[in-house]
Amino acid sequence: MKFLSKACLGVLLAASAMSTPAMAEEEEGGVSAGPITVSGGIEVVSDYRFRGISLTGGDVAVQPTLTVSHDSGLYLGVWGSNLEDTPTYGKTEIDIYGGYATEIASGTEIDIGLTYYGYPGGEKAAGPADYFEIIGKVSHTLGPVEATGTVGYAWDQQSLGGNDSIYLSAGLSAGIPTTPVTLSAQAGYTDGGLGALAPGSHYWDWSIGASASFGPITAGVKYVDTDIPTTGVKAVDKYFDSGVVFSLGFSF
Protein backbone atom coordinates (compact mmCIF):
# COMPACT_ATOMS: atom_id res chain seq x y z
CA MET A 1 0.00 0.00 0.00
CA LYS A 2 1.51 3.30 -1.01
CA PHE A 3 0.73 6.37 1.04
CA LEU A 4 -2.44 7.57 -0.66
CA SER A 5 -5.19 9.97 0.34
CA LYS A 6 -6.99 9.39 3.65
CA ALA A 7 -10.06 8.03 1.86
CA CYS A 8 -8.05 5.49 -0.11
CA LEU A 9 -6.08 4.46 2.94
CA GLY A 10 -9.34 4.02 4.80
CA VAL A 11 -10.59 1.46 2.29
CA LEU A 12 -7.29 -0.39 2.52
CA LEU A 13 -7.62 -0.40 6.30
CA ALA A 14 -11.11 -1.82 5.88
CA ALA A 15 -9.68 -4.78 4.00
CA SER A 16 -7.08 -5.37 6.66
CA ALA A 17 -9.41 -4.91 9.59
CA MET A 18 -12.01 -7.26 8.18
CA SER A 19 -9.87 -10.17 7.13
CA THR A 20 -7.36 -12.71 8.18
CA PRO A 21 -5.43 -15.46 6.53
CA ALA A 22 -4.42 -16.52 9.97
CA MET A 23 -7.57 -18.48 10.69
CA ALA A 24 -6.52 -22.05 11.48
CA GLU A 25 -6.39 -23.93 8.21
CA GLU A 26 -6.96 -27.64 7.92
CA GLU A 27 -3.55 -29.01 7.08
CA GLU A 28 -2.70 -32.53 6.12
CA GLY A 29 0.41 -34.21 7.45
CA GLY A 30 2.48 -32.47 10.08
CA VAL A 31 4.99 -33.80 12.60
CA SER A 32 3.41 -35.50 15.61
CA ALA A 33 4.77 -36.15 19.08
CA GLY A 34 2.12 -37.77 21.25
CA PRO A 35 -1.00 -35.56 21.29
CA ILE A 36 0.89 -32.60 19.75
CA THR A 37 1.16 -31.98 15.99
CA VAL A 38 3.33 -29.32 14.39
CA SER A 39 2.40 -28.32 10.84
CA GLY A 40 3.22 -25.43 8.58
CA GLY A 41 4.65 -24.37 5.28
CA ILE A 42 5.35 -21.44 3.03
CA GLU A 43 3.41 -19.96 0.12
CA VAL A 44 4.39 -17.51 -2.59
CA VAL A 45 1.54 -15.48 -4.11
CA SER A 46 1.63 -13.12 -7.07
CA ASP A 47 -0.44 -10.57 -5.10
CA TYR A 48 -1.44 -10.51 -1.42
CA ARG A 49 -5.23 -10.10 -1.56
CA PHE A 50 -6.94 -9.47 1.76
CA ARG A 51 -10.67 -10.04 1.25
CA GLY A 52 -10.53 -8.75 -2.27
CA ILE A 53 -8.11 -5.85 -1.81
CA SER A 54 -4.41 -5.94 -2.64
CA LEU A 55 -2.07 -5.22 0.27
CA THR A 56 1.06 -5.46 -1.87
CA GLY A 57 -0.12 -3.30 -4.76
CA GLY A 58 0.11 -6.20 -7.19
CA ASP A 59 3.56 -7.32 -6.04
CA VAL A 60 4.64 -10.79 -4.96
CA ALA A 61 4.30 -11.82 -1.31
CA VAL A 62 6.00 -14.61 0.65
CA GLN A 63 3.85 -16.04 3.45
CA PRO A 64 5.21 -18.59 5.95
CA THR A 65 3.07 -20.22 8.63
CA LEU A 66 3.52 -22.55 11.59
CA THR A 67 0.78 -24.16 13.71
CA VAL A 68 0.96 -26.29 16.86
CA SER A 69 -2.24 -28.26 17.53
CA HIS A 70 -3.40 -30.64 20.26
CA ASP A 71 -5.62 -33.69 19.92
CA SER A 72 -8.19 -31.88 22.07
CA GLY A 73 -8.77 -29.39 19.24
CA LEU A 74 -6.77 -26.49 20.68
CA TYR A 75 -4.25 -24.81 18.38
CA LEU A 76 -1.75 -21.94 18.36
CA GLY A 77 0.14 -20.54 15.41
CA VAL A 78 1.88 -17.70 13.64
CA TRP A 79 1.58 -16.41 10.05
CA GLY A 80 3.48 -13.68 8.22
CA SER A 81 3.62 -11.73 4.97
CA ASN A 82 5.40 -8.81 3.40
CA LEU A 83 3.31 -5.73 2.59
CA GLU A 84 3.72 -2.69 0.39
CA ASP A 85 5.63 -0.36 2.70
CA THR A 86 3.50 2.44 4.24
CA PRO A 87 3.84 4.67 7.31
CA THR A 88 0.67 3.11 8.77
CA TYR A 89 1.53 -0.59 8.49
CA GLY A 90 5.22 -0.72 7.67
CA LYS A 91 6.29 -3.48 5.32
CA THR A 92 5.55 -6.62 7.37
CA GLU A 93 2.48 -8.29 8.85
CA ILE A 94 2.84 -10.91 11.59
CA ASP A 95 -0.32 -12.59 12.91
CA ILE A 96 -0.47 -14.70 16.06
CA TYR A 97 -3.59 -16.82 16.41
CA GLY A 98 -5.08 -19.47 18.64
CA GLY A 99 -8.38 -21.23 19.07
CA TYR A 100 -10.36 -24.43 19.18
CA ALA A 101 -11.57 -26.64 16.31
CA THR A 102 -13.66 -29.80 16.55
CA GLU A 103 -16.20 -31.95 14.70
CA ILE A 104 -19.68 -31.48 16.17
CA ALA A 105 -21.47 -33.91 13.84
CA SER A 106 -20.58 -36.22 10.98
CA GLY A 107 -19.00 -33.99 8.34
CA THR A 108 -19.61 -30.77 10.29
CA GLU A 109 -16.80 -28.86 11.99
CA ILE A 110 -16.59 -25.63 13.96
CA ASP A 111 -13.53 -23.46 14.50
CA ILE A 112 -13.41 -20.38 16.76
CA GLY A 113 -10.30 -18.39 17.48
CA LEU A 114 -8.65 -15.08 18.28
CA THR A 115 -6.09 -13.42 16.02
CA TYR A 116 -3.63 -10.66 16.89
CA TYR A 117 -2.58 -8.67 13.82
CA GLY A 118 0.86 -7.15 14.29
CA TYR A 119 2.55 -4.57 12.05
CA PRO A 120 6.17 -4.10 13.13
CA GLY A 121 7.39 -0.70 12.00
CA GLY A 122 3.89 0.61 11.32
CA GLU A 123 2.08 3.19 13.42
CA LYS A 124 -1.06 5.26 13.01
CA ALA A 125 -1.20 8.89 14.08
CA ALA A 126 -3.19 7.86 17.18
CA GLY A 127 -0.90 4.98 18.09
CA PRO A 128 -0.04 1.41 17.05
CA ALA A 129 -1.81 -0.15 14.05
CA ASP A 130 -2.06 -3.58 15.72
CA TYR A 131 -5.49 -5.02 16.60
CA PHE A 132 -7.39 -8.20 17.58
CA GLU A 133 -10.20 -10.07 15.80
CA ILE A 134 -12.45 -12.98 16.78
CA ILE A 135 -13.13 -15.41 13.94
CA GLY A 136 -15.70 -18.22 13.85
CA LYS A 137 -16.10 -20.79 11.10
CA VAL A 138 -18.57 -23.61 10.40
CA SER A 139 -17.93 -26.09 7.61
CA HIS A 140 -19.79 -29.11 6.31
CA THR A 141 -18.44 -31.75 3.95
CA LEU A 142 -20.63 -33.96 1.78
CA GLY A 143 -18.67 -36.19 -0.53
CA PRO A 144 -16.18 -34.06 -2.49
CA VAL A 145 -18.03 -30.80 -1.68
CA GLU A 146 -17.35 -28.57 1.31
CA ALA A 147 -19.40 -25.52 2.31
CA THR A 148 -17.96 -22.98 4.75
CA GLY A 149 -19.39 -19.97 6.55
CA THR A 150 -17.13 -17.48 8.34
CA VAL A 151 -17.74 -14.54 10.67
CA GLY A 152 -14.97 -12.15 11.71
CA TYR A 153 -15.56 -9.55 14.42
CA ALA A 154 -13.14 -6.85 15.60
CA TRP A 155 -14.49 -4.84 18.53
CA ASP A 156 -13.83 -1.12 18.95
CA GLN A 157 -10.09 -0.64 19.37
CA GLN A 158 -7.79 2.37 19.19
CA SER A 159 -6.26 1.20 15.90
CA LEU A 160 -9.75 0.93 14.36
CA GLY A 161 -10.71 4.47 15.28
CA GLY A 162 -12.86 3.41 18.22
CA ASN A 163 -15.33 1.51 16.01
CA ASP A 164 -16.13 -2.17 15.63
CA SER A 165 -16.25 -4.11 12.36
CA ILE A 166 -17.62 -7.36 10.98
CA TYR A 167 -16.92 -9.61 8.01
CA LEU A 168 -19.28 -12.31 6.69
CA SER A 169 -18.21 -14.90 4.15
CA ALA A 170 -19.58 -18.04 2.45
CA GLY A 171 -17.60 -20.42 0.29
CA LEU A 172 -17.85 -23.69 -1.63
CA SER A 173 -15.10 -26.03 -2.73
CA ALA A 174 -15.24 -29.33 -4.60
CA GLY A 175 -12.56 -31.81 -5.49
CA ILE A 176 -12.76 -33.33 -8.96
CA PRO A 177 -12.78 -37.12 -8.49
CA THR A 178 -9.64 -39.03 -9.56
CA THR A 179 -7.74 -35.75 -10.07
CA PRO A 180 -5.61 -33.55 -7.78
CA VAL A 181 -7.75 -30.52 -8.70
CA THR A 182 -10.10 -28.63 -6.36
CA LEU A 183 -12.47 -25.89 -7.54
CA SER A 184 -13.58 -23.10 -5.21
CA ALA A 185 -15.81 -20.02 -5.02
CA GLN A 186 -16.28 -17.47 -2.24
CA ALA A 187 -18.20 -14.27 -1.52
CA GLY A 188 -17.86 -11.94 1.45
CA TYR A 189 -19.26 -8.71 2.86
CA THR A 190 -17.36 -6.15 4.92
CA ASP A 191 -19.22 -3.76 7.21
CA GLY A 192 -17.40 -1.69 9.78
CA GLY A 193 -16.44 1.73 11.03
CA LEU A 194 -12.91 2.99 10.61
CA GLY A 195 -12.88 6.18 12.61
CA ALA A 196 -12.00 9.39 10.81
CA LEU A 197 -10.56 7.55 7.81
CA ALA A 198 -13.72 5.99 6.44
CA PRO A 199 -16.57 5.55 8.95
CA GLY A 200 -19.13 2.93 8.00
CA SER A 201 -17.13 1.46 5.12
CA HIS A 202 -18.79 -1.50 3.44
CA TYR A 203 -18.22 -3.54 0.28
CA TRP A 204 -18.55 -6.97 -1.31
CA ASP A 205 -15.70 -9.21 -2.45
CA TRP A 206 -15.75 -12.50 -4.35
CA SER A 207 -13.41 -14.99 -5.98
CA ILE A 208 -13.38 -18.17 -8.05
CA GLY A 209 -10.40 -20.43 -8.48
CA ALA A 210 -8.77 -23.81 -8.77
CA SER A 211 -5.85 -25.55 -7.12
CA ALA A 212 -3.93 -28.77 -7.64
CA SER A 213 -2.01 -30.65 -4.96
CA PHE A 214 0.92 -32.98 -5.57
CA GLY A 215 2.03 -34.32 -2.22
CA PRO A 216 3.25 -31.35 -0.16
CA ILE A 217 3.14 -28.99 -3.17
CA THR A 218 0.00 -27.02 -4.06
CA ALA A 219 -0.38 -24.68 -7.04
CA GLY A 220 -3.38 -22.42 -7.46
CA VAL A 221 -4.97 -19.67 -9.49
CA LYS A 222 -8.01 -17.51 -8.69
CA TYR A 223 -9.88 -14.49 -10.00
CA VAL A 224 -10.56 -11.85 -7.33
CA ASP A 225 -12.89 -8.82 -7.49
CA THR A 226 -14.86 -6.33 -5.35
CA ASP A 227 -17.67 -3.84 -5.91
CA ILE A 228 -15.49 -0.90 -4.84
CA PRO A 229 -15.82 1.73 -7.59
CA THR A 230 -12.67 2.66 -9.47
CA THR A 231 -11.34 6.22 -9.35
CA GLY A 232 -9.63 6.42 -12.74
CA VAL A 233 -6.29 6.90 -10.98
CA LYS A 234 -4.08 3.91 -11.80
CA ALA A 235 -1.93 4.32 -8.68
CA VAL A 236 -5.09 3.96 -6.56
CA ASP A 237 -7.16 1.50 -8.58
CA LYS A 238 -4.43 -1.15 -8.58
CA TYR A 239 -5.46 -1.97 -5.02
CA PHE A 240 -9.14 -2.44 -5.89
CA ASP A 241 -9.18 -3.64 -9.50
CA SER A 242 -10.12 -7.22 -10.31
CA GLY A 243 -7.17 -9.50 -10.87
CA VAL A 244 -5.83 -13.02 -11.20
CA VAL A 245 -3.67 -14.33 -8.36
CA PHE A 246 -1.28 -17.24 -8.75
CA SER A 247 0.09 -19.19 -5.80
CA LEU A 248 2.61 -21.92 -5.11
CA GLY A 249 2.95 -23.47 -1.67
CA PHE A 250 4.79 -26.16 0.25
CA SER A 251 3.35 -27.67 3.43
CA PHE A 252 4.36 -30.31 5.98
* Single-letter residue type at 86: T
Q: What is the pLDDT of residue 27?
A: 45
- What average pLDDT score do residues 137-153 get? 97
Backbone angles phi, psi at 169, to 5 degrees: -145, 145
Give the percent of the chain with pLDDT over 90: 63
Q: Which domains does the chain have, with CATH numbers?
A: 6-251 (2.40.160.40)
CB-count burial class (<10 Å; 0-12, 13-18, 19+) for 87: middle
Nearest-CA neighbor of 40 among 70, 16, 73, 63? 63
- What average pLDDT score do residues 175-195 get? 88
Q: 6-39 pLDDT, tens per residue?
A: 334 444 444 444 445 545 544 457 898 899 999 9
Three-state secondary structure along 127-148? EECCEEEEEEEEEEEECCEEEE
- What average pLDDT score do residues 175-203 get? 79
Give the distance, in angstroms, between the CA of residue 110 and the centroid of all CA atoms in the same chain: 18
Q: 58-117 pLDDT, tens per residue?
A: 999 999 999 999 999 999 999 999 999 888 888 999 999 999 999 999 999 999 999 999
pTM: 0.86
Q: 94-106 pLDDT, tens per residue?
A: 999 999 999 999 9
Taking the C-alpha atoms of residue 126 and residue 220, their distance in angstroms, rounded to an integer, is 39
What confidence category does residue 197 fall into, taking pLDDT thresholds of 50, 70 and 90? very low
Residue 174 has pLDDT above 80, yes or no: yes
Give the distance, in angstroms, between the CA of residue 34 and the centroid of all CA atoms in the same chain: 30
Q: What is the pLDDT of residue 183?
A: 98
Residue 193 has pLDDT above 80, yes or no: no
Give the distance, in angstroms, between the CA of residue 129 and the centroid of all CA atoms in the same chain: 17
